[in-house]
Chains A and B, each alone.
Chain A
């Protein structure tokens, strides 16, 4: 299979933004894919979606738009999955 590229724009729904716990979940989700995953917000530098330090430094607050990009065999699935995590509220069903 040839490498694919995909991208998707997601809006952060969690009230407190992407802080430590959502960032952990995001990185855990990213680790499931072989594709390279990058996140960026506005005109900031792209960060590695598999690094929690990077994700936290993105400082994505409630309502901000995050661009998810992926390159690799499972790029399409990766982009969908990460966008879904970014858009979830993290409040329900966590226990």
Chain B
């Protein structure tokens, strides 16, 4: 507290773009201390009542959250709260806690922790790995009741009335939902990862978010002024006056520009010389379709289905169908590309037996996991094929590195189609099948893959990291991660050329697709389908409308001949300045 006046700069990973300025609300996951004192006999029944009231209040809170989640995200996600409610209100738990208070004259907090400790021990002995992992739920419930007994600060977020930045070690799904509140302007977490519930929800809300700061919740005190720079992945705590002024100007500029761009969202994405470009959206949740359409998206270029799989249980066919169908119907007649499950086994620990890997990015994930667990994969394919009766749906496979993987998927698809047919289930018979090009092997072998698939989609985030052997989550090497590295550009060119030679479309869905400085280069390399975050569409479209295709091709040729990412960046910056000058004169 003594040095609380000093400004500080924390760096992390950008999970959702934009800039947020506000007062810190530090959310502590740690439970309050549990009092070991004995209570007097006359206070026993009061203590029992205090415990039961806390359970009821937490139950009401979970039900409210459940209703909110159901309205916003559909019944599948809401279902995860049912198990939590059942555990919270379990008669056995309530019974033994109450009798503990009565027999031992201990506080409600102490009685609850004793009951839960017994449960945790019992669960730790269960052989089934999935059930054993439910210890986390027991701890979550215990924590919520303890917080409520302490009239905890967990609920303070509901009452904030001015611009607030939420700071947390990590957020539980039930808490992440609170981020949708009006005055919340940003999120900072210690834990990392762009595929956590919190990151995905923050992105869908357009909430500037930096994750993986490691020390954020300790370095920041409630009430501190905080700037979240979701574009740079940086957090400024108690910023200097100049920093703050700079960001205030930025926020205003952002807002003005956003309004201005949105007003032109309906203009076509065509270059000065009349070449048409398809701008489509990357989404995580059905609720994002509305924003995508408002920003002028013509379809969904990549629907990441991971969110469905982050809950307590594997999503069933009907659950998945409901989400897919909603997206397909709301986007019709636009095309919807559904990417099949792209998670590592570590994220599915509750449903899949996994062994820890020393290098998960090179491990059992994406299509590798799906082919190893055909039950999970087939359920998803069935749901996709059924949803596809409602519009134009295409299937996209992640992490493909070997041609046999495509053959195997084709066979599974054929089996699934036949099964649906036998069951008399209406389903699409011929969804187009494409692969992500994100492993360098697939890019180099593009000509071999092309005859086997209907389209390519360049996943540049992973392609960059695999090509350059850089994990950008590792701070010491993060500056070696460069999407403009000429090696990456050559791979993109190989894939784009292969697509046009073989007559199949090639799209790009990595972050590069949403980076306005990269737009002319991508067009010049031959990519005319860009899939990006909905909020970035207007700005990229603005660039497209100011570019001449001939000039873009020349720029691409120039960049391919350069020696480093820095040189490419400089050339792109120069080209942008030229276009701006041309616009003014």
Interfacial residues, chain A to chain B (CB-CB below 8 A): 15-17, 19-21, 23-24, 27-28, 48, 50-54, 56-57, 59, 61, 90-95
Evaluate contact between A91 and B134: CB separation under 8 angstroms: no
| Complex contact B83–A24 (CB within 8 A) | yes
Q: A51-B91, A54-B92 are in contact. Are A95 and B126 (CB under 8 A)?
A: no
Distance to closest chain B CB from A52 (angstroms): 4
**CB distance B379 to A91 under 8 Å?**
yes
Residue B578 at the A interface, CB < 8 A?
Answer: no
**Contact, CB under 8 Å: B90 / A51:** yes
- List 4 A-B pairs, minimum CB-CB distance, nearest first: A95-B318, A51-B92, A20-B83, A52-B86
Report the count of interface residues on B (CB-CB < 8 A): 36
Asked if A19 contacts B87 (CB within 8 A), the reply is: no
A18 to B483, CA, bound (A): 46
Question: Given that A20-B313, A53-B90 are contacting pairs, would A93 and B127 also be in contact in the complex, using a CB cutoff of 8 Å?
Answer: no
B255 within 8 A of A: no
15 further interface pairs, Cβ-Cβ under 8 Å (given A20-B134, A53-B138, A59-B126): A15-B375, A17-B131, A19-B131, A19-B313, A21-B82, A27-B86, A51-B92, A52-B87, A52-B90, A53-B119, A59-B128, A91-B316, A94-B319, A95-B316, A95-B318
**Interface assignment of B567: CB less than 8 Å from any CB of chain A:** no
Chain B residues contacting A27 (CB-CB under 8 Å) are 86
The answer to the question of B272 belonging to the interface, with a C-beta cut-off of 8 Å to chain A, is no
- Residues of A within 8 Å of B317, CB to CB, are 91-92, 95
**Closest beta carbon of chain A to B416's beta carbon, Å:** 14
B312 engages A20 (CB within 8 Å)? yes
Min CB–CB distance A55 → chain B (angstroms): 9
Cβ-based interface call for B334 (8 A)? no
The smallest beta-carbon distance between B125 and chain A, in angstroms, is 9
Q: List A contacts of B127 (CB < 8 A).
A: 59
Measured between beta carbons, the chain B residues less than 8 angstroms from A51 are 90-93
Q: Report Cα–Cα, A17/B127, bound state, in Å.
A: 12
- Residues on A with beta carbons closer than 8 Å to the beta carbon of B82: 21, 24
Smallest beta-carbon distance B383→chain A, Å = 9
Give CA–CA (A93, B320) in the complex, Å.
11
Q: Once bound together, how far apart are the Cα atoms of A22 and B119, in whole Å? A: 19
Interface residues in B87-136 by Cβ distance below 8 A to A read: 87, 90-93, 119, 122-123, 126-128, 130-131, 134
| Cα–Cα distance between A57 and B82 once the two chains are bound (Å) | 18
- Of chain A, the residue at the smallest CB distance from B76 is A95
Chain A nearest CB, measured from B138 CB (Å): 8
Q: Are B313 and A48 in contact (CB under 8 A)?
A: no
From 53 to 103 in chain B, residues with beta carbon under 8 angstroms from any chain A beta carbon are 75-76, 79, 82-83, 86-87, 90-93
- Interchain CA distance A17-B83 in the complex, whole Å: 15
Q: Which of A16, A24, A91, A95 is in CB contact (< 8 Å) with B86?
A: A24
- The closest CB in chain B to the CB of A51 belongs to B92
Partner of B83 from A21, A48, A91, A94 at Cβ < 8 Å: A21
Mark out the residues of chain B between 317 and 331 whose CB falls within 8 Å of any chain A CB in the assembled complex: 317-322
Q: Give bound CA distance, A61 to B132, whole Å.
A: 13
The residue among A28, A57, A93 with the most chain B CB atoms within 10 A of its own CB is A57
Q: Which of B76, B83, B350 has the most CB of A within 10 A?
A: B83
B50 to chain A, nearest CB (A): 22
Specify which chain A residues have a CB less than 8 angstroms from the CB of B262 in the assembled complex: none
Residues of B within 8 A of A24 (CB): 82-83, 86
